[in-house]
Chains A and B, each alone.
Chain A
């Protein structure tokens, strides 16, 4: 399974924190690969709409694009910080933390 993640927006633009992240479950430690797969499954990722209705008001909110490829399936979603789907929030939080660590390198 491959997961692509790209954060956007926020109060400021920080080049190091906006780099895209790519994860491949085959190259992750087995435990982490299992955790990632669970997060994707718990979010029922492949059944989610690509985008919920985007707010027309507001400023400085963060948005995230996530794309997952798994066997013969491929799907992407865009979510914001006001996403109310808790399992999807958990996936975003995991990917955010991973992105920050990759950005350090």
Chain B
């Protein structure tokens, strides 16, 4: 009786501020019947077509399917859910237990992964340059985080706000990987998409190629086919371009580097302080959809105060040319 009343009572759902994800997202179980902390994953296959969502191949609690892409999507979506729940007490993408839907085997030789507003979609790669896109846990966490950002602040997917949107997905993508591997900030590789490229793609400085480096933007790959990693790590090298929605995957290198520096400055596990500060900033109602790097940086400072981390965070943003150094602050960490 009580549960039935809760299902029909919108009072508490309405109290939450901000726009919600579209109501047409398929909920298999009414949210009131889901226990917070219990994930609900459904993996579909598009069978190399581009029709979404595809057919169901694995649901919550079912055993390994034997299809590696299906099982990676299931396991890594689960790891991402667990990270947000255990570290930030966030119950799924919308903090209300939204079921996690992933589609694998999308398209023919499709070398991409995306969030379509309702689900995470992964291609098998072309096996020339790209392996399957489920291979890297941080790539799966990156896509799920796009859903979180869309739910919380709807950062416009263009220019600086779009680059922030991308950076936030890289930040939490990397944190999910570090949390899973139990790595400190100093131990982590800070690479996005390690293992995603085939052996044919050349890395840089003798390292295996990856999609992006948060630690050293612009050094993830240097390849005759792909070209050279175009990411800057400082505002002096900001790229003005119409390509890539105004450089959302290019200039994200700058806030990525700032997060890396903040995490290193603070030491220990990156999700405990730096990650918490970035998460609180993402939830901050003062973060508007058209926010630029500087506004985001200022809000991280505001949120850093609660964790006695203002100097470390300001130092990080100053090192990438977003905020000036403050003469009155002792930066010795």
CB within 8 Å of B: which residues of A? 8-18, 55-62, 81-84, 89, 93, 100, 103-104
> Are the CB atoms of A15 and B115 closer together than 8 Å?
no
Which one of A8, A11, A103 has the greatest number of beta carbons of chain B within 10 Å?
A11
A contact residues around B226 at 8 Å (CB): 14-17
| Given A58-B115, A58-B116, A81-B114, A13 and B224 contact (CB-CB distance below 8 Å) | no
> Are the CB atoms of A13 and B250 closer together than 8 Å?
yes
B contact residues around A81 at 8 Å (CB): 50, 106-107, 110, 112, 114
Residue from the list A16, A57, A58, A82 in contact with B50, Cβ < 8 A = A82
> Are the CB atoms of B133 and A11 closer together than 8 Å?
yes
**1/0 contact trace for B187-212 toward A, CB 8 Å?**
00000010000000000000000011
- Shortest distance between the CB of B129 and any CB in chain A (Å): 8
A contact residues around B52 at 8 Å (CB): 82
Chain A residue at minimum C-beta to C-beta distance from B120: A60
Chain B residue at minimum C-beta to C-beta distance from A19: B227
> Are the CB atoms of B227 and A16 closer together than 8 Å?
yes
B311 contacts the other chain (CB 8 A): no
Prevailing SS type, chain A contact patch: loop
B169 contacts the other chain (CB 8 A): yes
| Given A9-B244, A82-B50, A103-B225, A55 and B116 contact (CB-CB distance below 8 Å) | yes
> Are the CB atoms of B157 and A104 closer together than 8 Å?
no
- Complex Cα distance A25/B243, Å? 27
- Complex Cα distance A9/B115, Å? 13
**1/0 contact trace for B211-231 toward A, CB 8 Å?**
110000000000111111010
- Complex Cα distance A81/B244, Å? 15
- Shortest distance between the CB of B185 and any CB in chain A (Å): 23
> Are the CB atoms of A58 and B117 closer together than 8 Å?
yes
| Given A57-B22, A81-B107, A83-B50, A10 and B146 contact (CB-CB distance below 8 Å) | no
Chain A residue at minimum C-beta to C-beta distance from B210: A12
B232 contacts the other chain (CB 8 A): no
> Are the CB atoms of A16 and B249 closer together than 8 Å?
no
> Are the CB atoms of A57 and B114 closer together than 8 Å?
no
| Given A17-B226, A81-B112, A103-B225, A12 and B249 contact (CB-CB distance below 8 Å) | yes
> Are the CB atoms of B143 and A60 closer together than 8 Å?
yes
> Are the CB atoms of A12 and B116 closer together than 8 Å?
no
Instruction: Please give 14 more A-B residue pairs, beta carbons under 8 A apart, in addition to A15-B227, A84-B51.
Output: A10-B114, A11-B142, A13-B249, A16-B224, A16-B226, A18-B244, A56-B117, A57-B150, A58-B117, A59-B114, A60-B114, A81-B110, A81-B112, A82-B50
- Shortest distance between the CB of A105 and any CB in chain B (Å): 10
